[in-house]
Chains A and B, each alone.
Chain A
Amino acid sequence: MSYLRLFGAFFRVSVRGELAYRANFFIQLFQSLLSLGISLAGLAVIFSYTDTLGGWRPDQVLALVGVYFLVGGMIGLIIQPGMEELIDSVRHGTLDFTLTKPADAQLIISIQRVEIWRLIDIMLGFGVLAAALVRMNERVGGWEAGAFILMLLAGGVIIYSFWLILATLSFWFVRVENILMVFQSMYEAGRWPISLYPGWLRYGLTFIIPVAFATTVPAEALTGRLTWVTLVIAVALAVVLFMLSRLFWRAGLRHYSGASA
């Protein structure tokens, strides 16, 4: 319960901080619309020359784009700001303050910053999803919706844990400034169904940098393409990665404090 209250406190602080920059709302709106516009333009060009893309229909790829923006918004809203702040605080020594607070350090660094305007991305994502669903011939039943939400949650946990592992690396590799960019560069590949890519790339985007679980898998759930195997792997991976990232985080903290491992 107190976790929720703590999150609420950080959320309020972030929101207040952002409201000071009201112009940022319009700037984010502009950037998000532009990004979405180009995405859709690219789709339009592709599908002017073909009817399907690797077995995916235009409305299904549109759903994927919706998920891409939705999940991208989720990452930008809370995961990315916290991890960037963490890396910064390791570099400048302000992590010390976090360590003297009577709350779990991983919890604090995870919720300490919220980029409130990324909600725009999330809403745009929902909008695109809705448009895609309207265009899809088959109806989305309870099973698809449920699987979708489950896969979104699993994907969220997987991505969070992955970002935490990346950020924790900065305890040892202080000078790798753009370590978080590893995910962001690869996320670009999430715009398209992972099944399009050759085997080695597909493998990399699933098990090395889990972009597939961020975008393609939830989209598969929504469009009825999800297999049981994928669902089980997603949930299992979420649990395992979460535990691993926690252990790694604790190791990172011990290293930072100079404790003997």
Chain B
Amino acid sequence: MTTMKSPAIQVQNLRKVYTVSEQEAGTMAALGSLVRRRKVEVAAVDGISFDLAAGEIVGFLGPNGAGKTTTLKMLSGVLHPTSGDATVLGYVPSKREKSFLRQITLVMGQRNQLVWDIPALHSFELNRAIYRIPQEDYRRMLDELTALLELGPLLHKPVRNLSLGERMKCEIAAALLHRPSVVFLDEPTIGLDVTMQRRIRGFITEYNRRFGATVLLTSHYMADVEALCKRVVVIHHGKLLFDGDLSILVQKFTAHKTIEVQIGDCQADLNAYGEVVSCSDGHFTLRVPKAETARVTERLLADLPVIDLLVEDPPIEEVIELVFAQGNP
């Protein structure tokens, strides 16, 4: 008889509210703030719910400040939720039980846990002591990670001498030495060049395949999510806007292209060419279906005195707004 395996991560109505004091500019206001501060409540995460099965790779997509990092911190036990429930591997993360912490890991793209002045290898050994990894397992894992991430020449160089990408690879390796079954990655590819981004994405896929770890990845790069995740969760203003198959989102994301065309003034009516989003000072923004892009561009160039023309993907915020406006499919 098979029993339904309970999800590795369960989130129910999770909320995180911050109280922020506001201060206006100006000396009088500054003096006034000595006496009285205006307090504003900001919901960084505003009631989200989702489940992750063991071994899933899920991408959290959203612009900066959407609540992705806050969610991750609540799931790894660093932050206490204001309300709602979260369960990871059957544990309540905020209790920070040792047996829980041994099974998870957190990697943050813009912050280092490696010790700056010494070779990465020595930081690895520190983690070995902290996580009490048996020698055999440590050796084996280190060898695998070294092979997968091509760490060979990097291990004995002081971390401060590594490039950003090399440092990131070592950070990731250090975080995985104890073979966690849940991996939280917060913007792991931020600031890296395209080649390195691709390599790290490849590694995460391989790690998930080899060790069956549950991976929760946040990013504001669509490419990260496209490469890694079948399932994607879109977050904006602390709210969950979309949770489903990536292909559906991809379809919406690349359904349209934006054409920016500069002509003399805003007098002309360009509705025949595509949906006119805005115009200012002769600078038109058109939205056209992806398939029509080449044809519309050709016609624009032929028909109008075009000064400048630019074809772009719609910005992610726009796509997300679109997703939100259209609701769940």
Contact = CB atoms under 8 A, between A and B. Distances in A.
A contacts B directly (C-beta below 8 A): yes
Interface of A: 2, 5-6, 8-10, 12-13, 16-17, 20-21, 92-94, 96-97, 99-103, 108, 254, 257-260
Contact of B101 (A8, A94, A102): A102
Main secondary structure of the interface of A (DSSP, over half): helix
A10 B132 CA distance: 14
B5 interface: no
Nearest to B101: A102
B78 A99 contact: yes
B111 interface: yes
Given A13-B123, A93-B111, A258 B118 contact: no
Given A17-B115, A17-B116, A93-B111, 19 more contacts: A9-B130, A13-B125, A17-B117, A17-B118, A17-B122, A20-B117, A21-B117, A96-B73, A96-B108, A100-B105, A101-B101, A101-B130, A101-B131, A102-B99, A103-B130, A108-B130, A254-B80, A257-B77, A257-B79
B17 to A, nearest CB: 9
A256 to B, nearest CB: 9
A13 B78 contact: no
Interface size class of B (residues with CB under 8 A): 35 or more
B96 interface: yes
Interface string B161-179: 0000000000000000000
B92 to A, nearest CB: 12
A2 B118 contact: no
A259 B94 CA distance: 9
Contacts of B227: none
Contact of A100 (B18, B78, B125, B128): B78
11 contacts: A9-B126, A12-B122, A12-B125, A17-B116, A20-B118, A93-B108, A93-B111, A96-B108, A97-B108, A102-B100, A102-B131
Contacts of B106: 96-97, 100
A258 B16 contact: yes
B76 interface: yes
A94 B113 contact: yes
Contacts of A92: 111
A103 B98 contact: yes
A6 B130 contact: yes
B122 A257 contact: no
Interface-central residue, B76, B78, B112, B131, by most chain A CB under 10 Å: B78
B126 A13 contact: yes
A252 to B, nearest CB: 14
Nearest to B123: A13
Nearest to B111: A94
Nearest to A92: B111
Contacts of B128: 9
A102 B126 CA distance: 13
Contacts of B112: 94
Given A20-B117, A258-B16, A2 B126 contact: no
B102 interface: yes
B16 A100 contact: no
Contacts of A9: 125-126, 128-130
